[in-house]
Amino acid sequence: NKSSSPSSGSRYHPRQDPAAHMTVVEAHEFDPRAFPLVVIPLTAAGTSFEALVDNGANVNVISEEALEKIRLLDPSAVESEERVNKPMSMHLALGESVDNTALGQVVVRVNIGAMIHSLRATVVRKLARDIFLGIPWMAKFKPQMDWEEYTLSWNHNNQDYHVKAMSKPSPQLLAQLQEPSLSNVQIDAKKFVKSIEASDTTDAGIIL
pLDDT on residue 31: 42
Q: What is the mean pLDDT of residues 130-145?
A: 91
- Judge if pTM exceeds 0.85: no
Strand partners, 76: none
CA 206, CA 97: separation in Å to the nearest integer? 9
| Helix (H), strand (E) at residue 117 | strand 115-124
In this prediction, residues 95-109 reach a mean pLDDT of: 75
Q: What does the pLDDT look like over 183-197, one tens digit per residue?
A: 333 334 444 444 434
- The Cα–Cα gap between 38 and 19 comes to 37
CB count in 10 Å sphere of residue 166: 14
Map out the domains of the chain with their CATH numbers.
32-192 (2.40.70.10)
Mean pLDDT to the nearest integer, 108-133: 93
